[in-house]
């Protein structure tokens, strides 16, 4: 959704009759994210939109003839069918919802379909058929590369190819579901032989996830000028990573078990429509960097292919919870200053050989660290490979995550003249590894 699609739904003056929405840090009426929830006393998941501290039931609205659109998509139990529809329909739905939630004349009818978010169960927003994770955070790639190759941190392909790998969809879980520490095979650099046991270097990665809309037939690439239309929306993605397993297994085929045990996403899809005002120019390529290949170059993408999104991560250990200490901020960064490749470029690249991207597929951006030490999106970077432990407000130290630690990611899109919108939390707690037989 280009900036030209900005309309009355983005009007900063627009308010909702849902009082909690006005001034809400994440879900004002300008956001209207899509998700899947089960209301209290029901076992029947349905689509919803978050408004303040409430969820509005889209299936109920459709049955009550308050919203138009494809009946199968609006009454489904996942967002896949809605993501399969043309983006114009999602834009029309947004205008419809925005009108309903701002017009007090329909409050009595619409409010029958509202539920307090706190009383609802939130689910994965889509059935994720395929998942790939990229590596577009250039400061992350540089910092991690430096740990291994101080003089030559970026590999020669980095500025030519949006680097990625195919991940695992079955272990993607929604915020709130605990993460079990993986067992695995690891080998310390000075050890003669590998050992098997609980990962000792469990880490998080601060990323954005991108849900795909529409479908390209197998063998038919996505032209770069059409790629932005294939973005249905965004979520937060924590790509939990076992650094010791990764170090031993990654050559020559890349990450495997170090990444496939669990990935956490936030439940709400912040739509491409909602994010239109926050589009901005991508990170300028330093002089001397290669120009993108023609299949990765589009004039509009070069003008507004990035998003102004402020990101952050927080930790709360068991001792911090026991002492009633609030979560401690680990780092903060900005997506638009971190991404060497745009989302349109990673979509065009993913499909350039003819790979079919399907509605509900998920792409990860890669860790979005800033250039400064306090902007790092992983413990690997924050602790310099585990060499410099962090000191937490509880007096505890951390090199990597310990059992009982709770990690949360946050994001807010911000731009002058617009109401900022948030992603909600992406949180999970670490449970001990299962015993090895």
Applying CB under 5 A, the span of 74-82, 189-197, 198-206, 349-357 interacting with Mn ion comes to 198-206
Q: How far is CA 315 from CA 204, 318, 383, in A?
A: 10, 10, 14
Applying CB under 5 A, the span of 23-31, 39-47, 235-243, 328-336 interacting with Mn ion comes to 235-243
Q: Which is nearer to Mn ion, 205 or 375 (CB)?
A: 205
Say if residues 426 and 237 touch (Cβ distance below 8 Å): yes
User: Burial of 316 by CB count in 10 Å (0-12 exposed, 13-18 middle, 19+ buried)?
Assistant: buried
Residue 57 found at the interface with Mn ion (CB under 5 A): no
From 10, 62, 140, 349, the catalytic residue: 140
Residue 298 found at the interface with Mn ion (CB under 5 A): no
Least Å from the CB of residue 197 to Mn ion: 24
- Among the residues of 136-291, which ranges form H helices? 138-148, 224-227, 243-249, 257-260
Residue 239 found at the interface with Mn ion (CB under 5 A): yes
Say if residues 336 and 280 touch (Cβ distance below 8 Å): yes
Q: Which is nearer to Mn ion, 84 or 347 (CB)?
A: 347
Q: Which is nearer to Mn ion, 239 or 381 (CB)?
A: 239
Whole-angstrom distance, CA of residue 73 vs CA of residue 230? 17
Whole-angstrom distance, CA of residue 259 vs CA of residue 364? 12
Least Å from the CB of residue 343 to Mn ion: 15
Q: Which of residues 129-168 bind Mn ion (CB under 5 A)?
A: 133
Q: Which of 26, 205, 301, 304 binds Mn ion (CB under 5 A)?
A: 205
Beta strands in 31-167 (DSSP E): 34-38, 46-51, 54-57, 114-116, 121-122, 131-134, 164-166
Taking alpha carbons only, the member of 433, 407, 431, 411 closest to residue 421 is 411
Least Å from the CB of residue 381 to Mn ion: 12
Residue 301 found at the interface with Mn ion (CB under 5 A): no
Q: Which is nearer to Mn ion, 203 or 405 (CB)?
A: 203
Applying CB under 5 A, the span of 107-115, 231-239, 244-252, 347-355 interacting with Mn ion comes to 231-239
Q: Which is nearer to Mn ion, 144 or 274 (CB)?
A: 144
Peptide bond into 71 cis (omega under 30): no
Q: Is 140 assigned a catalytic role?
A: yes
Residues annotated as catalytic are 140
Give residues in contact with Mn ion (CB under 5 A).
Answer: 133, 205, 239
């Amino acid at each position: 959704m280009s900036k030209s699609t900005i309309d009355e739904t983005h009007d900063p003056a627009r308010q909702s009759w849902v009082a909690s929405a006005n001034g809400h840090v994440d879900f004002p009426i300008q956001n209207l994210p899509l998700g899947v929830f089960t209301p209290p006393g029901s076992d029947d998941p349905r689509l919803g939109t978050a408004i303040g501290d409430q969820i509005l039931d889209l299936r109920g609205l459709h049955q009550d003839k308050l919203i138009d659109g494809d009946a199968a998509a609006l009454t489904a139990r996942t967002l896949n069918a809605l993501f399969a529809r043309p983006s114009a329909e999602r834009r029309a739905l947004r205008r419809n919802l925005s009108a309903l939630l701002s017009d007090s004349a329909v409050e009595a009818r619409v409010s029958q379909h509202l539920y307090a978010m706190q009383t609802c169960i939130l689910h994965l927003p889509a059935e994720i058929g395929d998942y790939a994770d990229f590596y577009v955070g250039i400061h992350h790639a540089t910092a991690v590369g430096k740990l291994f190759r101080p003089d030559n941190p970026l590999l020669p392909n980095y500025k030519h190819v949006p680097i990625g790998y195919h991940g695992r969809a079955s272990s993607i879980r929604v915020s709130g579901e605990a993460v079990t520490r993986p067992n695995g095979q690891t080998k310390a650099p000075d050890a003669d032989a590998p050992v098997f046991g609980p990962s000792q270097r469990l880490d998080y990665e601060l990323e954005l996830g991108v849900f795909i809309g529409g479908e390209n037939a197998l063998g038919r690439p996505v032209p770069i000028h059409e790629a932005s239309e294939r973005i249905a929306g965004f979520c937060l993605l924590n790509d939990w990573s076992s650094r010791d397993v990764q170090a031993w297994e990654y050559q020559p085929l890349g990450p495997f078990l170090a990444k496939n045990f669990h990935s956490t996403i936030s439940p709400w899809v912040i739509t491409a429509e909602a994010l239109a005002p926050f589009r901005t120019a991508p990170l300028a390529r330093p002089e001397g960097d290669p120009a993108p290949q023609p299949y990765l170059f589009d004039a509009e993408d070069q003008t507004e292919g990035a998003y102004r999104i402020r990101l952050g991560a927080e930790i709360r250990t068991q001792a911090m919870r026991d002492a009633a200490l609030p979560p401690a901020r680990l780092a903060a960064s900005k997506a638009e200053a971190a991404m060497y490749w745009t989302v349109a470029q990673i979509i065009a690249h993913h499909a350039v050989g003819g790979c079919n991207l399907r509605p509900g597929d998920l792409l990860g951006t890669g860790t979005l660290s800033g250039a400064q030490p306090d902007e790092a999106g992983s413990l690997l970077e924050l602790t310099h490979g585990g060499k410099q432990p962090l000191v937490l407000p509880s007096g505890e130290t951390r090199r990597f995550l310990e059992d009982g630690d709770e990690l949360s990611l946050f994001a807010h899109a911000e731009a002058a003249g617009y109401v900022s919108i948030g992603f909600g939390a992406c949180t999970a707690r670490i449970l001990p590894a299962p015993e090895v037989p």
